[in-house]
Amino acid sequence: NAGVMQNPRHLVRRRGQEARLRCSPMKGHSHVYWYRQLPEEGLKFMVYLQKENIIDESGMPKERFSAEFPKEGPSILRIQQVVRGDSAAYFCASSPPAERYEQYFGPGTRLTVT
Amino acid sequence: GIQVEQSPPDLILQEGANSTLRCNFSDSVNNLQWFHQNPWGQLINLFYIPSGTKQNGRLSATTVATERYSLLYISSSQTTDSGVYFCAVAGFNTDKLIFGTGTRLQVFP
């Protein structure tokens, strides 16, 4: 059973470009979470999604950031008009279709904005 | 929201030594997980332990939910144990994990 997959693993964008980060949950998992880790800091929750629904986006910046988890395909975290402060590691986690279960984390995408 | 504090912030050990890492949290939780972030940045699940005790090889963990703390024990440390250990919790009626600031462990040969 493959784990949570994220791609790309490393992404370099220039200021003003768009970044798209993809997350494929573990097989059978229908809950997806995105977390961000700024340099030398812990992880901070961004958004929690189920298929076609955003459940909790209380950690998402108000502007430029969006997330989706379509009926088919991976979850996408989109950052528009990136700035240097968006440079961070973005981790995706998934859990089974029941609440309050263990979250399994992917390897992360390291975004560098030049 | 729930506050999560980890101690010590830094720990330096010689190979073979034992250690105890602590995680205190400020409110009742429905989920508690321990992670190891290795020097390459990968986050590895160690334990899902909202209460009770679990063991996996040289690692074990205990959560005393009524007293709001969890302990991670590492025995016979190896250099591959180096990295940052995070505790993360989720309160009732929420699924988002709140992470502590971590304990940075360095194990020297």
In Å, how far from its chain's centre is CA B77? 15
On the question of pLDDT at B93 being above 90, the answer is no
For the segment A32-51, the average pLDDT, to the nearest whole number, is: 93
Nearest chain A residue (CA) to B29: A100
Query: What are A9-29's pLDDT values in tens digits?
Result: 999 999 999 999 999 999 989
**Which residues on B lie below 8 Å from A104 (Cβ)?**
45
**Which residues on B lie below 8 Å from A102 (Cβ)?**
31, 33, 45, 48
Nearest chain B residue (CA) to A105: B43
Q: How confident is the model at residue A100 (pLDDT cuts 50, 70, 90)?
A: low
Angle at the Cα of A35 from the Cα atoms of A92 and B53, rounded to 5 degrees: 80
Q: What pLDDT does residue A73 have? A: 92
Strands A43-50 and A53-56: antiparallel
Q: What pLDDT does residue A17 have? A: 98
